[in-house]
Structure 1
Amino acid sequence: MHQPNIQALTPENWKDYELLDCGDFEKLERFGDLVLIRPEPQAVWSKVWPGSEWEKRYHIRFKGRSATSGDWMKKNKNIPDRWHISYKNKEVEIKFRLALTSFKHVGIFPEQAVNWDYISSTVKKFKTPSPKVLNLFAYTGGASLIAKAAGADTTHVDSIKQVVTWANENQELSNLKDIRWVVEDALKFVQRELKRGKKYNGIILDPPAYGHGPKGEKWKLEDHIKDMMSDVVKLLDPEEHFLILNTYSLGFSSVIVENLIKGALPEAKNLEIGELFLNATSGIHLPLGVFGKFRSI
């Protein structure tokens, strides 16, 4: 019986991000020059560093009012609400505007740098000039920026207009242009592209556990991901392609992701599955989602 080869991958190229410590449902992180304390539901263990070390290091702390919103508490009023960081790997460099949002995010998921490296190296290897890449549930556009910087003709799809605007700001910061911005429900967009006979060399999916389209369309990961996967694989160019499926859901394992990919495309080559994690300076590891990816080369 086939035993899946499950990997555990952590980013290796970050200079402007560092997970310092995590535990007791919180994480201590450095983004550029600023150190933040944010909630982390997966950090069910105790902190490695003492509380006094956390207190000494942090600049901004998120205090939740509810499960979905809260407030940022600053050590002093001169700390900015917005600031910039950059990410660089062997192929490309991109920049981000970060901001303090009411739902604890700052505009970037640092563990995704593992997938960004996969995207840029794959796009660079393709023989197809300006390979077409589709980024679904694309948020503030890290994967879109990487694909574009590597030379791809990139389409960015997200259902929330404000985060697409944010992604466009990141494009300008990164001295890039001509990413195609689409504000639409991802599933509807894919179905329309299928009817048009479109093909893509790369597809990236980073779906939330729950979400809504711009017209109130409901997304629930376990209810819709099978249909989404069966549709998106039909958009892949048969000769040169890659696909990444990344999920951040406490109920999803890498074996589930493997089964979804194999169910949608049994002939997928060079399949890799596994777990993304961040390696804290304190020595603890923080798991942050599971992935499945494959490519033709």
Structure 2
Amino acid sequence: MSLAIVAEGLVKRYGNVTALDGLDLSVPEGTVLGLLGPNGAGKTTTVRILTTLVTPDAGRATVAGFDVVRDAQRLRSHIGASGQYAAVDDHLTGAENLEMVGRLYHLGTKRSKQRARELLERFDLTEAGDRPVQGYSGGMRRRLDLAGALVADPRVLFLDEPTTGLDPRARAGLWDVIAELVAGGTTLLLTTQYMEEADRLADRIAVVDHGRVIALGTADELKNQVGGDRIELAVTNPADLDTARRVLVPLAVGDLQIDAIALQVTVPVTHGAASLTDALAGLAAERVTVRDAGLRRPTLDDVFLTLTGHQATDTPKERSR
């Protein structure tokens, strides 16, 4: 399968901050790669380099067969991008925003108008197309921004946290639109902090932290890597926490998490219900009273806590990356 995106050893520094530290990526044509990482991990810098907005300090990358530095001007007509915030003009109508993008791509006035109407219909914005964007909802603005990224019918699409700030309904609607694009053969690189978003859209997920890819695989593979399931249980007496730790450590795949205030223990395991049964039997044998217990799949924070040692959103000092 041909590769639509290749990055080898990308390095980017901003003063004393290393945004990318030898990042490697490859995305086959017609697939979706999700870049999953905390704030400041290097996701946005990666997108900026691959879309020719930033030049790397070291390494190389190609997109749609074009070198992102040497062939930057030619590459731009083959890609589309949508950032974390909708890049639309509030004072123009939805149609005028898309027509402006078409003219920037040198499509000509007639084709720009035609393309604008096609995309307004595709994104269910026809009725709002002749209204100023300042009256649009957040979900409508995001859909219009994504439509703008598709004006030139790009072979490769970059979406940098496209659903940040949207309510669950608007997010789900945008996921449907993105899924349709991918089904039509578009290659997509998607950055996100939402595991459920990567679960829904990505063929593979690259976990990025401190400017490097630290894990790569499908959503299920990553979850299994940090323990396929989580036992969550709460004991009645604070004195039972040490006993619970001793009983549960042999069942754990990775470190236990203990909340001494809530009297709760979280245990990563690989054998699901069987592990829960063993845990409860072991605690009962030690006369530990369990007031609540359950089994769940890992969350985004579980993955990041295990792989990086911190929560997914605990790096505000690095957000300038």
* TM-score normalised by L of structure 1: 0.32
Pick the structure with more strand per residue: 1
Structure possessing the higher radius of gyration over alpha carbons = 2
Query: Higher relative contact order by CA 8 Å / sep ≥ 6: 1 or 2?
Result: 2
